[in-house]
């Protein structure tokens, strides 16, 4: 692992330098209540809270609340309060799949469109607390739809457009949604995605009263009478004013489904005041935002990164945010940098998987474009290997832009561990240090808290405003998943090393979650999809290292008696997973085997399966507890 150190580039004049960061840390430690209330002051409240955090991670008194007696509306914070002086400022730059085919919305336009959507939802009976699904491309209307829900107090749940109709249906059922907002089609990398058709398929199992369809391509789509509304047909008649619902800080803002180690995806619930404070604060701190910046986070709004750093964080800070509806390699591998030059992007935030894919194409597609507008680079979603970090720094940033490697999770609402670009020396591959007020701990298998340089499981010993509050409809699962393993601590699911300088190096998930191209996939979900195929008896899924994706999916499959494995069946199984979950969960390798390595009590030894998938030929540890140790030899012989 590289241990080179990069100082803050000399001419990077950040608002928060080393001294200011020390002050923030000092205040956060000395008077947390005041510190957090200070951060909450970034927002405009109808009633400012009197108290910051009130929480306990202990089983007998388990609760998490932030700013509980405060009242506010997040759409007001992202829109109304900017209008008087900045109504004509660009809020969103829509960058379509085809370069240059986008357009811009000012804050006033976004406000008006948000109010229109809000009024449309209200006219369909959607009210405070109701759940609304958003299944849309990266178009400004998607942001307006999210903000419209926030405006009327409805809880939005955005589902990434790459998820299958089955996945969408499962989420609609889980949160009992009463409306779906979608588009006719999406377009990515020149390919059409039949969003409305997917919604129709999803709703075959469970219908909803209202489907709103925004035109993206203008394609003909089926419309169901009484349920489906073409937004374009009603838009003119909708008022551009809509009174915001005043929300309590702890009222839910959104549900975002994410994969865990067991069962179906969990509905991660974020609430209004704490989440908004955290998104706004971290955006300001880590991206050193200035009014003339053009901020581009390449994430989709279907993921938490899109929620916090395409929509809520930037808009609460009155920023100009790019919504990118394309892919890094279309029309060619220079797409990011061509777009950066054309739009004048100053802050660029993307995922290591994209950086690795671009790095493989060499420097030319980067160097072909000037990139001189960029002043700050960021990464998120998975560990970045030092080699990719150095390339990003040297080739994309010309060695003059700080790189912020930001560690966080759907559950954390916003960034928790990251350099401050103007204050923290960078070590390629390390997310560096916790933000002020954040208290990470490393814990070993015997539940001992480790001091100094050490490797262990990453936990947090206290709450922060952006922490998730519950799993939708399953508060018990919330506690069991995150707070039970290590009593009194929030367990992240990540492994981590802390070095002699107190820098954190995230090593990846230690649970049964696979991080494919920065997307979280639960092994249990893929396994349950595989075994739903009539020929499959059993399946065990693990991750293995992949040059571009970080990790890819390796599936071990046993077949029912008399069935034969082969390429045809492999294709069918991949198809099954694409159908049940989505293309992003498709196994890279499928290994047919007569048996899985199991203990005498029948537990699959995943440790061995992981090793074999990684390419190991020995070092399987103690295999004496296996019911049939010869299974290992057979698996090695059949490795894919
Ligand atoms: O394993 C960590 C990895 O992504 C997981 C969270 O995934 P998700 O909830 O989908 O959110 C992704 C975007 C915030 C974490 O448990 N991860 C995220 N950022 C980093 C990371 N691993 C290493 N370094 C990072 N910067």
Computed over every residue of the chain, the mean pLDDT equals 96
Number of Cα atoms under 13 Å in the Cβ half of residue 400 = 10
pLDDT at 211: 98
Q: Does 305 show up as a binding residue in the annotation?
A: yes
20-54 pLDDT, tens digit each: 999 999 999 999 999 999 999 999 999 999 999 99
What's the rounded Cα separation, in Å, for the pair 68 and 348? 34
Contact (Cβ atoms closer than 8 angstroms) between residue 382 and residue 514: no
d(CA 130, CA 152): 10
Mean pLDDT, rounded, for 138-142? 98
pLDDT surpassing 90 at residue 625: no
Q: Compute CA distances 196 → 217, 229, 257, 319, whole Å.
A: 12, 12, 20, 31
Determine which of 198-212, 399-413, 607-621 has the lowest per-residue pLDDT on average.
Answer: 607-621
The answer on whether 536 is annotated among ligand-binding residues is yes
Ligand 1 atom closest to residue 492's alpha carbon, by position in its atom list:
16
Average pLDDT (251-265) is 91
| Atom 5 of ligand 1, nearest CA residue | 409
SS3 sequence, 587-615?
A: CCEEEECCCCCEECCCCECHHHHHHHHHC
**What is the percent of the chain with per-residue pLDDT over 70, rounded to a whole number?**
100
pLDDT in tens, 509-526: 999 899 999 999 999 999
Beta strand ranges found along 220-327 (DSSP E): 228-230, 247-248, 252-258, 266-271, 294-297, 320-324
Is 151 part of any known ligand binding site? no
The closest residue, in CA terms, to atom 22 on ligand 1 is 382
Best of 258, 506, 543 for a ligand 1 pocket test (most atoms within 8 Å of beta carbon): 506
Q: Whose CA is nearest to atom 10 of ligand 1?
A: 520
Task: Give residue ranges with CB within 6 A of ligand 1.
Answer: 258, 304-305, 380-383, 405-410, 431, 492-494, 506, 508-509, 515, 520
pLDDT digits (tens, 9 = 90+) for 568-579: 999 999 999 999
Check whether 262 has a pLDDT greater than 80: no
User: Taking phi first (over 0 means left), then psi (-120 to 50 degrees means alpha), and beta for anything else, what does residue 564 get?
Assistant: beta
The pLDDT score that the predictor gives to residue 1 is 46
DSSP string, 55-89: EE-SGGG-EEEESTT-EE-HHIIIIIHHHHHHTTS
As a whole number of angstroms, the distance between CA 325 and CA 300 comes to 8
Alpha carbons within 13 angstroms on the beta-carbon side of residue 521 total: 33
**What is the model's pTM?**
0.96
Measured between alpha carbons, how far is 292 from 344 in angstroms, rounded to an integer? 10
Tens of pLDDT, residues 283-318 = 999 999 999 999 999 999 999 999 999 999 999 999
CB 555 within 8 A of CB 540: yes
What pLDDT is stored for residue 237 in this prediction?
A: 98
446: left (phi over 0), alpha (psi -120 to 50) or beta: alpha
Q: How far is CA 371 from the centre of its chain?
A: 26
**Bridge partners for 90 per DSSP:** 106
CA 216 to ligand 1 centroid distance, Å: 31
């Amino acid at each position: 692992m590289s241990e080179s150190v990069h100082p803050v580039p000399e001419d990077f004049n950040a608002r928060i330098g080393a001294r200011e960061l020390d002050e923030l840390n000092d205040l956060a430690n000395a008077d947390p209540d005041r510190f957090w209330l200070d951060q909450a002051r970034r927002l405009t409240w109808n009633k400012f809270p009197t108290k910051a955090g009130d929480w306990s991670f202990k089983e007998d008194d388990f609760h998490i609340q932030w700013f509980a007696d405060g009242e506010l509306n997040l759409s007001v914070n992202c829109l109304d309060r900017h209008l008087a002086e900045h109504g004509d400022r660009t809020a969103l730059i829509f960058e379509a799949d085809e370069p240059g085919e986008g357009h811009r919305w000012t804050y006033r336009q976004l406000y008006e469109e948000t109010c229109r959507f809000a009024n449309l939802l209200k006219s369909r009976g959607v009210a405070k607390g109701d759940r609304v699904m958003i299944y849309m491309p990266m178009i400004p209307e998607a942001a307006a739809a999210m903000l419209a829900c926030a405006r009327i107090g409805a809880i939005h749940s955005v589902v990434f457009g790459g998820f299958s109709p089955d996945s969408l249906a499962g989420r609609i059922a889980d949160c009992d949604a009463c409306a779906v907002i979608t588009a006719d089609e999406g377009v990515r990398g020149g390919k059409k995605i039949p969003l409305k058709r997917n919604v129709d398929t999803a709703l075959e199992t469970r219908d909803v009263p209202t489907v709103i369809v925004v035109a993206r391509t203008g394609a003909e789509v089926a419309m169901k009478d009484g349920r489906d509304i073409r937004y374009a047909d009603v838009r003119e008649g909708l008022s551009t004013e809509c009174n915001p619902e005043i929300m309590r800080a702890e009222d839910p803002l959104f549900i975002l489904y994410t994969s865990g180690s067991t069962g179906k995806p969990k509905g991660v619930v974020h609430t209004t005041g704490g989440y908004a404070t955290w998104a706004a604060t971290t955006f300001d701190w880590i991206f050193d935002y200035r009014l003339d910046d053009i901020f581009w986070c390449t994430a989709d709004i279907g993921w938490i990164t899109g929620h916090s750093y395409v929509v809520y964080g930037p808009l609460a800070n009155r920023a100009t945010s790019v919504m990118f509806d394309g892919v890094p390699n279309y029309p060619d591998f220079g797409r990011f940098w061509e777009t950066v030059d054309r739009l004048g992007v100053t802050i660029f935030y993307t995922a290591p998987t994209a950086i690795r894919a671009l790095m493989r194409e060499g420097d030319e597609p980067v160097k072909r474009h000037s990139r001189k507008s960029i002043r700050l680079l960021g990464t998120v979603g998975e560990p970045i290997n030092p080699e990719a970090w150095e390339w990003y720094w040297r080739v994309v940033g010309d060695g003059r832009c700080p790189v912020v490697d930001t560690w966080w999770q759907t559950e954390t609402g916003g960034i928790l561990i990251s350099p401050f670009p103007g204050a923290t020396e960078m070590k390629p591959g390390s997310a560096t240090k916790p933000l002020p007020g954040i208290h990470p701990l490393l814990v070993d298998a015997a539940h001992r808290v480790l001091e100094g340089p050490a490797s262990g499981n990453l936990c947090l010993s206290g709450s922060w405003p952006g922490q998730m509050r519950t799993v939708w409809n399953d508060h018990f699962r919330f506690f069991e998943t995150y707070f039970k393993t290590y009593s009194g601590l929030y367990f992240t699911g990540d492994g981590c090393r802390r070095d002699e300088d107190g820098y954190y190096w995230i090593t990846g998930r230690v649970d049964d979650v696979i991080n494919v191209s920065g997307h979280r996939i639960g092994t249990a979900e893929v396994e349950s999809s595989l075994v739903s195929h009539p020929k499959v008896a059993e399946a065990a899924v693990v991750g293995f290292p992949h040059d571009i994706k970080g990790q890819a999916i390796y599936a071990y499959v046993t077949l029912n008696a008399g069935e034969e494995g082969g390429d045809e069946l492999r294709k069918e199984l991949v198809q099954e997973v694409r159908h049940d979950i989505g293309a992003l969960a498709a196994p890279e390798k499928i290994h047919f085997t007569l048996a899985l390595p199991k203990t005498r009590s029948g537990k699959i030894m995943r440790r061995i399966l992981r090793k074999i998938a990684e390419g190991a030929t020995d070092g399987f540890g103690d295999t004496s507890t296996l019911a049939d140790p010869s299974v290992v030899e057979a698996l090695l012989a059949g490795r894919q």
